[in-house]
Amino acid sequence: MFTSLTLLVLAGLLGPLLAAGRRSLAPVLVGELIAGAILGKTWLHLIVSTTQPFPEFSAVGFAMLMLEAGNEVDLRSAELRIGAIRGNLALLIALALSLPVGLAISALFPSGHPSLLVILLAGSSAAVAFPTIRERGLSGPAIAILITWMTLADALTAVLMPLALSGASRIPLALVGDILIVAAAAASMVAARRLFKSGLADEVKRESKHRHWALQLRLSVLLLLALAAIAERTGASLLVAGFAAGIVLRRFNEPNRLAQQLTGLASGFFVPAFFVLLGASLDLSALVRSPSAVGLALAMAIGATAVHVVASLVTGTETRLPAGLLASAQLGLPAAAASLGLASGALGPAVAAALVAGGVLTLIPASAGALMLSGSRVAPPTAEAPV
């Protein structure tokens, strides 16, 4: 087991290696996928993603990836309020455009799940875009719209995507599970708000800090696992569980120490493990051997970029083109679809690999959009900024 774990951690290091330097060769997540593909089913077969305890590590890593995405969303932020109207409109336009585009792609390159393609086209990746926005110090009306748009797109597609892969008989229970997750997250938020106001809570936090108990980290992991347990029992989505847990934690402005602990736990092991194991489970040779799958990957990347650019052109500000390019970033959702589809047998190897490849290809226009926004030196948003 430890030999396999050593290979898993070693493979994850390819991500930072490729992303290092002023001109990174590839995003961290792409490097991890490549490492998994090299060591997994595509080539060397040294990592078998179905061997215990890899499936459990992969599930926890995916939940933590979604927690990090949800943790980027501050429901009280001025940016969300400023961009609310146009952000909502951009999402509605993207959804409307995704329907004919997704159906057309499904007709040209049959996947067996046209509704899944529609959902993926409308989605965005907050886990990719939000760190980029933060690292480059981007702000202004266009960014305010993007934050609202991508937050809602992430939340909505997180709910809909697993349902598109479920059988009709499982959808009602999965919907109940999603509702229970949201209700449990809201209840946790209310309970924590009351608890944190007590003097006892302050004393416990001080004691935990001085005696190195890491109680806040334990409670954060407990919340994530409890919501994930609801998803497991009902067939609901880990996307929803992780995303909801991240929003709850962000709501209470966790201290820097807790943020560092969560980042260390997630980004240090579990999230890289998820992407390496996903790469190991993909059969890229099946993708290469299937012209239809290659066409599907290219069509999904082009379609997602077109949908988001048009939505941004209709609703955006003076930086609407680069904002639309950045909004087209996708990786977490296609990766999740591939992982769930392979595990359930709903997707074949070639189609699953095509969805991930399409998501990776969207990072090219998204990176170009981020560079264009950086060069535009967008002014900080104000309460009087146009929406």
Domain boundaries, the chain: 59-270+288-376
Residue of 308, 263, 3, 291 whose CA lies nearest to 129: 308
Return the pLDDT at 19.
77
String of b and e for 59-88 (b: at least 16 CB within 10 Å)?
bbbbbbbbbbbbbbbeeebebbebbbebbe
Q: How far is CA 344 from CA 24, 177, 347, in A?
A: 35, 18, 8
Return the pLDDT at 88.
85
Return the pLDDT at 181.
92
Return the pLDDT at 291.
92
Question: Whole-angstrom Cα distance, residue 32 to residue 34?
Answer: 5
Question: Whole-angstrom Cα distance, residue 374 to residue 301?
Answer: 23
CB atoms within 10 A of CB 176: 14
Would you write out the chain's pLDDT as a tens digit for each of its 387 residues? 788 889 999 998 988 888 787 666 677 878 888 899 899 888 888 888 888 889 889 889 888 887 877 776 676 776 666 677 888 888 899 999 999 999 999 999 988 889 999 999 998 877 677 767 766 777 777 777 887 788 778 777 877 887 777 665 667 777 888 889 989 998 988 887 777 666 776 777 777 777 777 777 888 889 999 999 998 888 777 878 888 888 888 776 555 566 667 777 888 888 899 889 888 888 888 888 899 999 999 999 999 999 999 999 888 666 788 888 988 988 778 887 888 888 778 888 899 999 989 988 998 898 888 888 877 644 444 434 333
237 in helix, strand or coil? coil
Return the pLDDT at 254.
57
Question: Whole-angstrom Cα distance, residue 82 to residue 149?
Answer: 12
Contact 116, 161 (CB under 8 A): yes
Contact 277, 196 (CB under 8 A): no
CB atoms within 10 A of CB 205: 15
CATH number of 59-270+288-376: 1.20.1530.20
Contact 276, 8 (CB under 8 A): yes
CB atoms within 10 A of CB 169: 7
Question: Whole-angstrom Cα distance, residue 384 to residue 317?
Answer: 14
| Residue 140, phi-psi category: left (phi > 0), alpha (psi -120 to 50), beta (remainder) | left
Return the pLDDT at 131.
66
Return the pLDDT at 159.
73
- Which two three-digit tokens encode residue 313? 């052109």
Contact 357, 299 (CB under 8 A): no
Return the pLDDT at 55.
87
Return the pLDDT at 255.
54
Return the pLDDT at 105.
94
- Which two three-digit tokens encode residue 139? 């702000």
Return the pLDDT at 387.
32
